[in-house]
Amino acid sequence: MKKQKIEAHESSGNIFAELLLKSGIVIELHRLIRERGLTQVKAAKLLGITQPDLSRLLRGDFEAYSAERLMKMLTVFEHDIEIVMKPRRNAGERGRITFKSAAA
């Protein structure tokens, strides 16, 4: 029997922050697809996934996708991804993860 390689990603420890980040990216993907008037078939082909997978993704079923992979999908639509780290204003508080679209 052939062993399958399972891809694992380390969690930040805050599942809600990760879900918020991923959902923000998916919302932006949906906006870009709609803005360009693409069908799901054409958009899926651009993104390198199947149409049923894109449909599930746009309906919020994105657990199988890492934030990195979703960000790479945004680059298909000629968008740069910029990650900025900065010190937290309130010392002693845990940092946070946010997603901001330049279009917003």
What pTM was estimated for this model as a whole? 0.74
Number of CB atoms found within 10 A of residue 83's CB: 6
Q: What confidence tens digit (pLDDT) does each residue in 21-68 have?
A: 899 999 999 999 999 999 999 999 999 999 999 999 999 999 999 999
The answer for residues whose C-beta is within 8 angstroms of residue 68's C-beta and 6 or more apart is 9
Give CA–CA dist 32/26, Å, rounded. Answer: 10
pLDDT at 25: 94
Decide: 36 and 84 in contact? Cβ < 8 Å: no
For the chain, list the domains and their CATH numbers.
Answer: 24-76 (1.10.260.40)
Average pLDDT, the chain: 86
